[in-house]
Amino acid sequence: MKISVFGTGYVGLVTGASLAELGHEILCVDIDTQKIKQLEEGIIPFYEPGLKELVQKNRIKKRLNFTPEIEQGVIFGEVIFNCVGTPSKKDGSADLSYVLQVAESVGKFAQDYKILVNKSTVPPGTARKCQELILKINSQSPVKVVSNPEFLAEGKAVSDFAHPDKIVFGAEEEKAFSILKKVYMGRMRGYIPVVETDWETAEMIKYANNSFLATKISFINEVANICDKVGADVRVVSQAMGMDYRINPRFLNAGIGYGGSCFPKDVRALLQVAKENNYEARLLQEVDFFNERQKQHLLTKIKKRFPVLVGKTFTLWGLSFKPKTSDMREAPSLVLIENLLNFGANVQVYDPIAMEEAKKILGEKVHFCSSAEEAVMGSSAILLVTEWDEFRNVDFLELGKQMKERVVFDGRNIYEPEVVREEGFEYFGMGRK
Ligand code: NAD
């Protein structure tokens, strides 16, 4: 099938390359001409495991092409995926301007039957809005809008797209459902549950999904904070909780709060949807507020151990909001760095992948180091912020020799406290002794 994909970010590029892998002919469209130029040169503008190889392979097979030409993009595909960004507006609601731009172009240039598939995360009512917009531009438009939210996670986006837990379709007509099934053919030969529903339900599923995961993380962080007070170990608590099949162990790792381009923005967007519909979503308000507070929690621990931060040097291991991504959007590391700098501390950072992205935000404010070892030189404490694999098995005994004071704040609970202490360090975790 000929498929166009609008937006070549995390979702769009993974969608385009993965659908090409299924044998479809793909044209990826982006208004960012620089990005398109890079992609044509084989440069992937962000880090996502396995994506470069997938793009390369399908470029060679001539199944994956790129263009900045909107009209060409609309005319090319029988199916048009809308994968553009939906960032937060000031009030927390989703900025739909990019999504509506694409719908507008489709309304303007499409002459034949096509389906416009909204894959971006959008508030309930958006597919309806897109359909209305298309008909306003061309009352005879044969285009049908479908909602098909995406559930992939950065860091494992390629494999998530290939092996989703579910595929959700929201449409208003049978033909659109069957075309979408053709798009995903090959994936659906194996057992993957497909949920066919209406537009608003499909859109709501995505927000409910992300808001629930954000709540689950906040829940275990709250438990961790209480564990700190009563001397319990949250790692054992969450392991035991996870053994209950009604709960499951995933997303039960206590830490310094969630970040990224999805959870914070989607919780706030759902809050705003509720507000616009005269409903006060108290639980979600608290999740958002709590998570912002949790991002400050490590600083509270640091200040308890180091009452005076002026002139002290601290090491941040990890910058990206989670491992295996270069994405710095809403990363807890940024809040911690800002706080430490405000208190007059010096900050030395190292991240295996996200340094270039972080430099765009932090500039000269911190000292960027080329290795985990370099980042501890003359430092008073290691602050483990992102649980990259290379931080898991370090030789604390050796590292300690380069440091001014030997303290570890384990913001992701990846170390065994006894082992770190045996190697001469003071250990502070999240919700554990
Ligand atoms: P992104 O910011 O990485 O990429 C968006 C791209 O869209 C940019 O390259 C931008 O230039 C392009 N764009 C904007 N307007 C355009 C237009 N009119 N025509 C063509 N291209 C245009 O965004 P992302 O992280 O890929 O997210 C996209 C959507 O998918 C969002 O709604 C997001 O919430 C959702 N989502 C993201 C993830 C994730 O992990 N990143 C997972 C699931 C869903």
Domain boundaries, the chain: 2-197, 207-294, 297-428
158: exposed, middle or buried (Cβ count in 10 Å: 0-12, 13-18, 19+): buried
Q: Name the band, by pLDDT with cuts 50, 70 and 90, for residue 147.
A: very high
Q: Is 205 in the pocket of ligand 1 (CB under 6 A)?
A: no
Q: Output the CA 254–ligand 1 centroid distance in Å.
A: 29
Report the Cα–Cα distance between both ends of the chain, in Å, rounded. 57
Point out the ligand 1 atom lying closest to the alpha carbon of residue 265: 34
Task: Identify the sign of the CA torsion 125, 127, 128, 129.
Answer: positive
pLDDT tens, residue by residue, 308-326: 999 999 999 999 999 999 9
Share of the chain above pLDDT 90, in %: 98
pLDDT tens, residue by residue, 197-210: 999 999 999 999 99
Q: Name the band, by pLDDT with cuts 50, 70 and 90, for residue 185.
A: confident
Question: Do 207-294 and 297-428 share a fold?
Answer: no
Q: Is 9 in the pocket of ligand 1 (CB under 6 A)?
A: yes
Q: Is 98 in the pocket of ligand 1 (CB under 6 A)?
A: yes
Q: Residue 71 corresponds to which tokens in the numbers above?
A: 């009209």
Q: Output the CA 6–ligand 1 centroid distance in Å.
A: 9
| Mean local confidence (pLDDT), 223-250 | 97
pLDDT tens, residue by residue, 77-123: 999 999 999 999 999 999 999 999 999 999 999 999 999 999 999 99
The answer, yes or no, to whether residue 250 has pLDDT greater than 70, is yes
Which strands make up the sheet holding 194-197, listed edge to edge? Answer: 64-67, 25-29, 2-6, 79-82, 115-118, 144-147, 167-170, 194-197
- Please give the pLDDT value at position 201: 98
Q: Is 147 in the pocket of ligand 1 (CB under 6 A)?
A: no
Point out the ligand 1 atom lying closest to the alpha carbon of residue 98: 15
What is the CATH architecture of 207-294? Orthogonal Bundle (1.10)
Q: Name the band, by pLDDT with cuts 50, 70 and 90, for residue 167.
A: very high
Q: Output the CA 314–ligand 1 centroid distance in Å.
A: 35
The answer, yes or no, to whether residue 190 has pLDDT greater than 80, is no
CATH of span 2-197: 3.40.50.720
Lookup result for tokens 């290939």: 162
Q: Which has the closest alpha carbon to 80: 120, 133, 40?
A: 120
How high does pLDDT run on average in the chain? 97
Q: Which of 83, 227, 262, 369 is catalytic?
A: 262
The answer, yes or no, to whether residue 328 has pLDDT greater than 70, is yes
Asked if 354 and 328 touch (Cβ cutoff 8 Å), the reply is yes
- Please give the pLDDT value at position 55: 98
Asked if 302 and 308 touch (Cβ cutoff 8 Å), the reply is no
- Please give the pLDDT value at position 188: 63
| Mean local confidence (pLDDT), 248-258 | 97
Q: Rounded distance, CA 314 to CA 381, Å?
A: 5
- Please give the pLDDT value at position 223: 98
The answer, yes or no, to whether residue 235 has pLDDT greater than 70, is yes
Q: Name the band, by pLDDT with cuts 50, 70 and 90, for residue 411.
A: very high
Please name the residue whose Cα sits nearest to atom 11 of ligand 1: 32
The answer, yes or no, to whether residue 211 has pLDDT greater than 80, is yes
Point out the ligand 1 atom lying closest to the alpha carbon of residue 13: 26
pLDDT tens, residue by residue, 44-72: 999 999 999 999 999 999 999 999 999 99
pTM of the predicted protein model: 0.96
Point out the ligand 1 atom lying closest to the alpha carbon of residue 122: 32
Q: Rounded distance, CA 289 to CA 92, Å?
A: 13
Task: Identify the sign of the CA torsion 295, 415, 425, 325.
Answer: negative
Lookup result for tokens 């070549």: 8
> Quick count: other Cβ atoms within 10 Å of Cβ 79?
22
| Mean local confidence (pLDDT), 411-424 | 97
Please name the residue whose Cα sits nearest to atom 27 of ligand 1: 85
Q: Is 30 in the pocket of ligand 1 (CB under 6 A)?
A: yes
| Mean local confidence (pLDDT), 295-307 | 97
Q: Is 326 in the pocket of ligand 1 (CB under 6 A)?
A: no
Q: Residue 95 corresponds to which tokens in the numbers above?
A: 């900025």
pLDDT tens, residue by residue, 347-392: 999 999 999 999 999 999 999 999 999 999 999 999 999 999 999 9
Q: Output the CA 12–ligand 1 centroid distance in Å.
A: 7
Identify whether 130 is a catalytic site residue: no
- Please give the pLDDT value at position 308: 97
Q: Output the CA 333–ligand 1 centroid distance in Å.
A: 23
Lookup result for tokens 């994968």: 83
Share of the chain above pLDDT 70, in %: 99
Supply φ then ψ for residue 195, to 5 degrees: -105, 115
- The radius of gyration of the chain's CA atoms, rounded to the nearest angstrom, is 23
Domain 297-428 = CATH 3.40.1160.10: no
The answer, yes or no, to whether residue 287 has pLDDT greater than 80, is yes
Q: Is 5 in the pocket of ligand 1 (CB under 6 A)?
A: no
